[in-house]
Amino acid sequence: MATSSDETIKREIIDFIGSKIGNIEVRVFPDGSNQDQISFEKGGLTFCVDGVNYGSCDVVYLTVDNDKLNVAILAIEGTDALNRKSSGNAQYQRFHHALGAVKNGIIGVYYLKKGREKIRNDLYAMAYHATLLESGVYLIVQDLNVIKHIIELYLFDQKNLKTYLKDYSENSYKIFLNEFNLKYKGSWDLFAEKRSTIVFKKYIVKHSARMLRNFTDSSQRAGHIAVGEMYLSKYFFSPKHLYYLWPRMTEKDLNYLDVNKSEDKEWYLLRNEPNVTIITIDNISNVPTNIRKKLKLLSQVPLKGIYLKQYKSCVKYIIEKLKNGEMKLINV
C-alpha cells in the first residue's frame, strides 16, 4: 500500500529532527489512527481552549521527566501541499491545527515542505499577528533545521531561545511586508478591498459567497477554506471584531447548520472563535426586496456566467450602502 503524503511528512520530520533529544521525545501516531484527535492531556495531539477543539497536529515534541506531567514544547502541523498544486487559499486550510497549541502558550509550527508552488506570504503575516495576539509563538517553516534548532535551544540555551523566536517571526513578517508594499502599495485599505473586506472604526466586514450546500455536501471543502479565510481576516485586522458576511445565506441556514453540523470541527470553530461573528443577509438592514430575491435565487447555484455577474452586482450594492451608512448591521 502506498504511503500517504501525511505519513511521508511525519516520517521526514522525525527522521530529520529525531525521536528523542535529551529529555524531549516525540509523540506521533501512524496514518489512519484516530489517537491524534484525542486531547494532548489525554495522550493525543489535539489542543483545546475553553472547550474548542482546534484540530489535531501531526507531531508534538514534549518533555518526559519520570512521573511528572508531560509538557508540550513544540507542535507541528505538516503538509506537502506545495507539491500538490496548492497555490491559492487552500494553503490556509490547516493553519488552525497548530493554532490550538499557540493559544495554549506553546510554540506552534505550520511546516510546508518546499515544492513546485510558492508559499503564500499571507501565512507569514497570519502567524506573526497570531503570535502578537495569543500566548504562544506561531511560525511558518519550510526548513526543518529551524525546528531542530528551536528544540536544541530549549534544551541547551534557553537564554537565546526567546530572541531566536522573535527574530524569526519578525524576519518572516518582513517577507510579507515586501510583497504588501509592492502589490498593495503599502495600503491596508487596498489590501482590504482586494480581500473582500470593509474596514470600519471598531469592526470589519469580510464578505464571502458561501452557500448552504458548501457545508452539507461532503465533496466540497468549504468548511476548511472558510476557517482559513476567517483566521486571515481576524489576525490581519485584530483587535477589530470580525463580522463574516455570507449574503447568499440566511439566519435559518445558520440555525440548520448549528443543529446538523454540531459535531463538525470546522463549523464549531467558525461559530465559536472569539471576536468573530458569522452573519447573513438577515443581519443587514434596509436590503431592497429585489436584492433579497436575487440572492435567494442565487443561493443554490454555482456562481458562474450570468449567476456570478448577478451576485457581484448585488454584493457591490450592499457594500456601497454599508460604507455610506444607508445599510447597517442588525441583531449582532
pLDDT tens by residue, 242-252? 999 999 999 99
Q: What is the pTM of this model?
A: 0.91
Report, as an integer, the average pLDDT of 300-317: 96
- Quote the mean pLDDT of the chain: 92
Q: How far apart are CA 132 and CA 16, in angstroms?
A: 29
CA nearest to 91, candidates 70, 61, 63, 111: 111
Residue with cell 511546516: 111
Confidence of residue 52 (pLDDT cuts 50, 70, 90): confident
What pLDDT, on a 0 to 100 scale, did the predictor assign at position 68?
62
Give me the domains of the chain, ranges plus CATH numbers. Answer: 5-181 (3.40.91), 188-324 (no CATH)
Q: How far apart are CA 129 and CA 238, in angstroms?
A: 8
In the three-class reduction of DSSP (H, G, I as helix; E, B as strand; rest coil), residue 301 is classed as coil
Report, as an integer, the average pLDDT of 174-195: 93
Q: How far apart are CA 83 and CA 308, in angstroms?
A: 31
Q: How far apart are CA 248 and CA 279, in angstroms?
A: 10
Q: Which of these ranges, 53-67, 72-86, 120-134, 277-291, has the smallest mean pLDDT?
A: 53-67
Quick count: other Cβ atoms within 10 Å of Cβ 258? 13
pLDDT over threshold 90, residue 167: yes
Identify the H or E element spanning 62.
strand 59-63
Report, as an integer, the average pLDDT of 229-245: 95
What pLDDT, on a 0 to 100 scale, did the predictor assign at position 89?
78
What pLDDT, on a 0 to 100 scale, did the predictor assign at position 332?
82
Report, as an integer, the average pLDDT of 293-297: 96
Q: How far apart are CA 109 and CA 172, in angstroms?
A: 13
Report, as an integer, the average pLDDT of 102-121: 95
What pLDDT, on a 0 to 100 scale, did the predictor assign at position 254?
97
The residues with which 137 forms a beta bridge, in sequence order, are: 107
What pLDDT, on a 0 to 100 scale, did the predictor assign at position 1?
40
